[in-house]
Amino acid sequence: MSQESSSKPDIVPKEEKRSPFSTYKKAALIFLFSVVLYYFYPTRTNTTNNDYTMPSLFKLRSIANHFIPREVAEGVGARVKRSVGSMQQRRFTPFLMLDDFTVKSPSGFPDHPHHGQETITYVIDGLIAHEDFTGSKGVLRPGDLQFMTAGKGIVHSEMPVEMEDGRPARGLQLWVDLPKDLKNCEPRYRNLRSEDIPVVKPHENLEVRVISGKSYGTESVKDLAYTPIDFYYMLASKAGTEFAQEIPSDFNAFLYVMKGSVVINEKVFKQNTAIFFDTDGEGVAGQAGSDDTEFAIIGGKILDQPLVQHGPFVETDQEKLYEAFMNYEGYTKGFERAKGWRSDIASGINESEAKQLLE
């Protein structure tokens, strides 16, 4: 943003001479004012918030771990790149798992249970159909998200839609631990459609989809998950595009490169790299390492509680975990509706059938 000064220039009488100290002082003030303008009023196009103000400079978090995850088998015939939940990064409270999935029908994730956690599914391309034993069903389109709270128990199915053009479904699924006092809450869904996600453009080469949290002065939709989560999806059109994101002090945070590459502290991180940050700073920042770069910055409130996990069952001790398994096996205490239930999409769903669910 260019700003024109409305004040008149100083008029100095010929007989008056400026001292060197006065000249240096004025130059210093001009420099300081320029820095303030640069950081607080950058050139930008903001699609959601005309009152945007760039946050002040913050101390950057250091990198604690980074790697490109291996591909592993999951569900029925599906393969995923798992970062959180792998041997390279077992857990990262409150996160239990992050899968980068590319899955094509007839492979998928048919009927299976969850307990004591939340799942967040973000679809990048293709369509994902879902259905559970409460009667909820629907389809996630590109750019859509689903926040599912399993609580005391749920059985559901997630299947890629068989597309007429043959393309697979691509996206991210995140598993998040629930606070111990919410482990046995009632299950619920929060669907977030692409058109309802606030988008901010701090400058012409950077677009931020503010899924959950606050970025560049723009806030997300509220009450999506019980565990406090920040989720930002950033798209940089040009290499060298700078980005910055503040992170609450009591949050863990990581970055995952979906496409292209990012540069942090002069180190290049390629596509599919997961970067985990320490809690020694107030935020993260870097640059796009290539044109058309896409990445997610995800943070979550650190949960100071014990954790015992076996697959999609998550508890705070072994006894409670065993009890949750027995509830599932005996169709009790939250799993009553699992008895005899089978989803309509477990064997697959085509694009025509998916369109009917979208209507």
Residue 335 sits at φ, ψ, to 5 deg, of -105, 15
Instruction: Indicate whether 142 belongs to any domain.
Output: yes
The number of angstroms, rounded, from the C-alpha of 245 to the middle of its chain's C-alpha atoms is 12
pLDDT band, very low/low/confident/very high, at 358 (cuts 50, 70, 90):
confident
Which residue bears the tokens 């004040």?
7
Decide if 156 contacts 132 (C-beta within 8 A): yes
Q: Examine residue 168 and state whether it is found in any structural domain, yes or no.
A: yes
Q: Give the DSSP letter string of 128-162.
A: EEEEETTS-EEEEPTT-EEEEE-TT-EEEEEEEEE
Q: Are strands 206-212 and 199-203 parallel, antiparallel or unpaired?
A: antiparallel
Note the pLDDT of residue 45: 36
For 234-244, how does the pLDDT look when each residue is reduced to its tens digit (9 = 90+)?
999 999 999 99
In a domain, 211, yes or no: yes
Number of structural domains (the chain) is 1
pLDDT at 1 > cutoff 50: no
Residue 170 CB contacts under 8 Å (≥ 6 apart), including other chains:
101, 102, 123, 124, 125, 126
Residue 54 pLDDT more than 80?
no
- List the beta bridge partners of residue 209: 199, 233
Q: What is the pLDDT of residues 177-190, one digit of tens each?
A: 999 999 999 999 99
Q: Which pLDDT does position 23 carry in this prediction?
A: 42
β-pair partners for 262: 269, 288
- Answer whether residue 31 is part of any domain: no
Higher per-residue pLDDT: 149 or 19? 149
Residue 90's domain spans which residues? 64-343
Answer whether the bond into residue 106 is a cis peptide, omega within 30°. yes
Token code pair at residue 114:
């969850």
Is 351 inside a domain boundary? no
Let me know if residue 23 belongs to a domain.
no
**What CATH number does the domain containing 333 carry?**
2.60.120.10
Inside any domain, residue 14: no
β-sheet bridge partners, residue 263: 268, 287
Q: Is residue 150 part of a domain?
A: yes
User: Strand pairing of 95-103 and 78-82?
Assistant: antiparallel
